[in-house]
Amino acid sequence: MMISLILLSFLVLVCAYAPLKSSEVKLIVSNQQLDLLDPQNTKGYLEPILKIRTPGSEGAAEVRSHFKQFFESLDSQWNVEFDNFTDDTPTLKNVSFTNVIATRYPPGSTEGSVERLILAAHYDSKIEPQGFLGAIDSAFSCALMMYVVKQLDDMLTIKWKDNPDSQKGLQIVLLDGEEAFKEWSETDSIYGARHLASKWESEKYHDSSNKSKLDSIGLFVLMDLLGASNPSISSFYQHTDWAHINLRSLEKSLRKQKVTKTKRSQRSWFARPGRYFLAGQLGDDHLPFLEKGVPILHLIPLPFPEVWHTITDDGDHLDRDAIHDWALIMTVFTAEYMELTGYMGIDFDNTDL
């Protein structure tokens, strides 16, 4: 019942999406800095997240500083906001939660008129088992988003210099309190996502568009449990199938160019056909946004990786090849969504060198 109502409320979106030229993909490949995603590199993006970071903990505050410092270290202007709130959980009352939201809009745009791509993941770690570090769950996804931003930030600058009133912005959403305190239920899970979705629903832009901060989301990409080998990721929503199809086809093209670690002969990470019967069935941070009509692309492998919710979900159990390929796939996908082709700072007289 609830599910069918949700599906009816979606608008049909016409999404502009522009594939990169192979010379541009080559540029991305040659710019790769995979040491930033090395779980042992203390100066990288991932290692500082691999600590206990349960809601309200000191570790969580340190991880937020790590995010903030990262966005402040970029040459361009990112707006970093903290969405702080408190909530009661089954085991603890009045717990402090903080979502971190980093946004970059074209310089000449008015906020309400810009459709934004959201890359989202949760940064909190699970309370049990004791010592749990949550590398796939979801430290790697957080670091991956930072990596994509770092790779594409200058290209956005180039594009927006020529097109200051572009209609697409990029937003990174790092959610707190995804994990249950006691046992997963509607009220004991996704604390941060529930708070942010209702906050954005009530916040309107101060312009004539009368849009809420939910209306202006072009695509909400939720990443969870990534970083293990050979994931199989289904398309769960018909209205965002186009994005899943694009991921599958760019993966195919990257494999063909032999720039991935995964071989061309291996099965695609992006499984077809769609499994729409699972729409809204997987409990995760996308649900409160989905219920309010936001277009969702849920990048989560099924089955879940073996280390899921066990003490072995640590840096040593991330798969190096998967890290490599995710870095490439998500950088290219984001560049294509943001329509960066032609704005990557290379000469295009000979397009397919």
Binder among 54, 89, 98, 246 for ligand NAG (CB under 6 A):
98
β partners of residue 171: 103, 118
Question: Which x/- pattern, by CB under 6 A, does the window 16-55 give for ligand NAG?
Answer: ----------------------------------------
Q: Which residues contact 230 (CB under 8 A, 6 or more apart)?
A: 262, 266, 267, 269, 322
Q: Name which of residues 201 to 220 contact ligand NAG (CB under 6 A).
A: 210
Toward ligand NAG, which CB reaches closer, 65 or 266? 65
DSSP class of residue 5 equals H
Binder among 33, 40, 69, 86 for ligand NAG (CB under 6 A):
86
* Shortest Cβ 212–ligand NAG spacing (Å): 7
Does 96 bind ligand NAG (CB under 6 A)? Our answer is yes
Q: How many CB atoms lie within 10 A of CB 171?
A: 21
* Piece in contact with ligand NAG (CB under 6 A), picked from 93-101, 234-242, 306-314, 343-351: 93-101
Cα separations in angstroms, 115 against 28, 64, 108, 111, 241? 25, 26, 14, 8, 18
* Shortest Cβ 51–ligand NAG spacing (Å): 16
* Shortest Cβ 84–ligand NAG spacing (Å): 4
Give the residue numbers marked as catalytic: 178, 224
Toward ligand NAG, which CB reaches closer, 88 or 316? 88
Binder among 61, 92, 346, 353 for ligand NAG (CB under 6 A):
61
Q: Are 168 and 218 in contact (CB under 8 A)?
A: yes
Region of 264 please: left (phi>0), alpha (psi -120 to 50) or beta.
alpha
Pick from 258, 226, 222: nearest CA to 327? 226
* Piece in contact with ligand NAG (CB under 6 A), picked from 80-88, 102-110, 140-148, 271-279: 80-88
Does 94 bind ligand NAG (CB under 6 A)? Our answer is yes
Toward ligand NAG, which CB reaches closer, 87 or 154? 87
- The phi and psi torsions of 228 (rounded to 5 degrees) equal -95, 165
Cα separations in angstroms, 177 against 12, 29, 202, 334? 31, 35, 21, 26
Toward ligand NAG, which CB reaches closer, 90 or 345? 90
Toward ligand NAG, which CB reaches closer, 4 or 94? 94
Q: State whether the Cα torsion 295-299-304-308 is positive or negative.
A: negative
Q: Which residues contact 141 (CB under 8 A, 6 or more apart)?
A: 121, 223, 224, 226, 227
Binder among 84, 91, 230, 249 for ligand NAG (CB under 6 A):
84
The token pair at 303 is 């089955």
Measured distance CA(95)–CA(87) in Å, rounded: 5
* Shortest Cβ 118–ligand NAG spacing (Å): 20
Toward ligand NAG, which CB reaches closer, 64 or 195? 64
> What is the size of the binding site for ligand NAG (CB under 6 A)?
9
Toward ligand NAG, which CB reaches closer, 30 or 210? 210
Binder among 82, 92, 165, 321 for ligand NAG (CB under 6 A):
82
CB-count exposure of residue 199 (10 Å: 0-12, 13-18, 19+): middle
The label of the residue with tokens 């410092």 reads: 69
Binder among 54, 55, 64, 325 for ligand NAG (CB under 6 A):
64
* Shortest Cβ 293–ligand NAG spacing (Å): 12
* Piece in contact with ligand NAG (CB under 6 A), picked from 6-14, 94-102, 136-144, 179-187: 94-102
Measured distance CA(191)–CA(98) in Å, rounded: 10
Site residues (vs ligand NAG, CB under 6 A): 61, 64, 82, 84, 86, 94, 96, 98, 210
